[in-house]
A and B are shown apart, each in its own frame.
Chain A
Amino acid sequence: QKEVEQNSGPLSVPEGAIASLNCTYSDRGSQSFFWYRQYSGKSPELIMFIYSNGDKEDGRFTAQLNKASQYVSLLIRDSQPSDSATYLCAVSFGGTSYGKLTFGQGTILTVHP
């Protein structure tokens, strides 16, 4: 069973701080890694994806991938109250999986003013 694990939180950070969200996965054959943000009652929206080791930056968001250690993280700089949401890590195992994603259970982030 391919697994994706996230700390469920909640993670609470003050406004303006860096929020760090972590995700580990069990299958070394995993190829692509995605971070989604989900507001309460809404559907997930794609923030970033990464498939090469290292960092990928997009605005206030940075995704970090370490395939040797089998973890992927998401940093949110200058956190805002509007970043308060559940963050879902998702992993694609490549091959003939045709983009199937396995999701972690999500980390609840609260940014307080």
Chain B
Amino acid sequence: GEDVEQSLFLSVREGDSSVINCTYTDSSSTYLYWYKQEPGAGLQLLTYIFSNMDMKQDQRLTVLLNKKDKHLSLRIADTQTGDSAIYFCAESPSNSGYALNFGKGTSLLVTP
């Protein structure tokens, strides 16, 4: 199938904002997800957005959705060193049952 695209790396300074971008493939995906993976750990659900929304804010996290361009972004305000991890974007394509289609992940490095 087609790939969910994410940039591989992002480096920011502590206190700055981070923006992680994702291009998904299936415009019929009802929900789009962001997961976080720390070294040696599983995937932690960070947030998700319903496809009829443009924006969702949850504390330091802001998700923006552009359905026309099939573009999803995750903004982390006041990024901390503890935010260093791999961030995965995922869609739920209509032709894949209940499977999630993940991007390859963006490695976020936060430097002091």
Are A and B part of the same complex?
Answer: no
Residues of A within 8 A of B (CB): none
Interface residues of B (CB under 8 A from A): none
